Amino acid sequence: MKNFDVVVLGSGPGGYVAAIRASQLGKKVAIVEMDKLGGVCLNRGCIPTKAVLKSAHSVHEIADMKSLGINVELKGLDGAVAVKRASGIADQMSKGIAFLMKKNKIEVITGFGKIKTKNSLEVKTSAGVETINFTNLIVATGAHYRSFPGLEHDGKRLIGAWEAVKMETLPKSIGIIGAGAIGVEFAYFWNAFGVDVHIFELQKHLLPIEDDDSSVEVERAYKKYGIKLSLGIEGVRAVNNGKDVSIFEKVNGKEVEHKFEMGLIAVGMTGNIDNIGLEAVGIKTDRGFISVNDMYQTNVPNIYAIGDVSGPPLLAHAASHEGVTAAEHLAGAHPHAIDKMNIAGCTYCQPQVASVGYTERELKAKGIEYNVGKLPFTANGKAVASNENTGFVKTLMGKHGEMLGAHIVGTNATELIHEYVLFKTMEGIDEEIFATVHPHPTLGEWLGEAVLASKKRALNF
């Protein structure tokens, strides 16, 4: 029987970071993982999807090269190569996590962990059942995609994101149900590689949690790509016919049938809380996720839960920061609680979408006063010179100069959002951005200019 100060159940971006931070703080740490180190994000999510999206973006770049004076010919597309490359990158990154575990003297136990008591975990390994004791436990088991009546995954023709990212033989046509980040990103990849793509969404826009302006910009680009959109429909269901898939969209009370070779169902996630022993110690859950306080403690004080299993936002970078918070708190430190309004959301289609804070419709619903500063990249010298001028920077500023929200759409949106995240976290005011000298010519200078625009002080637009 082994004894540890901290045991982490799950090795995704929350779990492995929590383990490292606990070890840095002098704790004896073990991590229990039933699959590959790195969790869904590294092996089936964030990393491999970004690899295939790079392939898709390259297809569009080649199409634009003639205008840059470069005459090239696209001889063919091989989705299998793109997917195999993504898988290889995921394997490489997983080995990197293994190195970090060794470097930080964290014991890795491969098996399925289940809570037995508030201080012990039973792990089923290939060698049998092992009991390990802990002073503190951090549950970081992640989440899985949800099914609803009429929207059930079968893993064959009606697939989820995890099957999608491993699919080497691409279908001729696919219907995507759900226009969140997963649906929109796969639509971009498959369309670039010649698949006929149709997105179905109950809400009025793609990326419905984003600002409406951001969604409309992506919709404009997707229509240009030839991706079909059914938005604001009343209902949707999918049926595997054996040889093909039928997706029925309900419009004005009537169902319209569409036929596809396959269907992707991307309609939400729920926490991996089943059969991990939560009931044995009375850990509370709420709507499919573990309930936690702002230090990520459950109602059992020595047991924490972080990442997707503890609820929205279901983001890898949020999970990592939550892991640090939990590790520091159990070690007796006093970390700051995470302000979820300062966590950026990123979608890696093209144009990319990144945001932090409120959307305009949220501010209107709350009755909060704000000023808008919005600048298109068509007026930015570096964007025009780089032939990457789709999108904009939009800021929502409060009456005291504070940033209430920011929204960026464009080729490098997910890289540019960092300045605004730091600015909000430090509770900056607009005068501090006005006093910051942004290099020229850059896309980033538009971050300062968009704040100026909110005060009607824009100098270059």
With vertex at residue 403, the alpha carbon angle to CA 46 and CA 361, rounded to the nearest 5 degrees, is 75
- Contact (Cβ atoms closer than 8 angstroms) between residue 355 and residue 408: yes
Is residue 139 a contact partner of residue 309, using CB atoms and an 8 Å limit?
yes
Domain 2-145+270-340 is of which CATH architecture? 3-Layer(bba) Sandwich (3.50)
- Identify the CATH number of the domain defined by range 158-267: 3.50.50.60
Q: Residue 243: its pLDDT value, please?
A: 96
Burial class (CB in 10 A: 0-12, 13-18, 19+), 67: exposed
The rounded distance, in Å, linking the Cα atoms of 15 and 84 is: 26
Q: What is the pLDDT of residue 146?
A: 87
CA distance 114 to 124: 8
pLDDT tens-digit readout, 95-109: 999 999 999 999 999
Query: Does residue 45 have a pLDDT over 90?
Result: no
pLDDT above 90: residue 227: yes
Share of the chain above pLDDT 90, in %: 93
According to CATH, the superfamily of the domain at 351-454 is: FAD/NAD-linked reductase, C-terminal dimerisation domain (3.30.390.30)
| Residue 440 designated active-site | yes
With 90 as the cut, is the pLDDT of residue 1 above it? Answer: no
**Catalytic, out of 57, 60, 329, 440:** 440
Measured CA to CA, the distance from residue 304 to residue 291 in angstroms comes to 10
Whole-prediction pTM value?
0.95
**pLDDT band for position 147 (50/70/90)?**
confident
CA separation, residue 70 to residues 54, 74, 92, 246 (Å): 20, 12, 34, 43
- What ranges do the domains of the chain cover? 2-145+270-340, 158-267, 351-454
DSSP bridge pairs for 409: 353, 392
Check if 2-145+270-340 and 158-267 are the same fold: yes
3-state SS, residue 186: helix
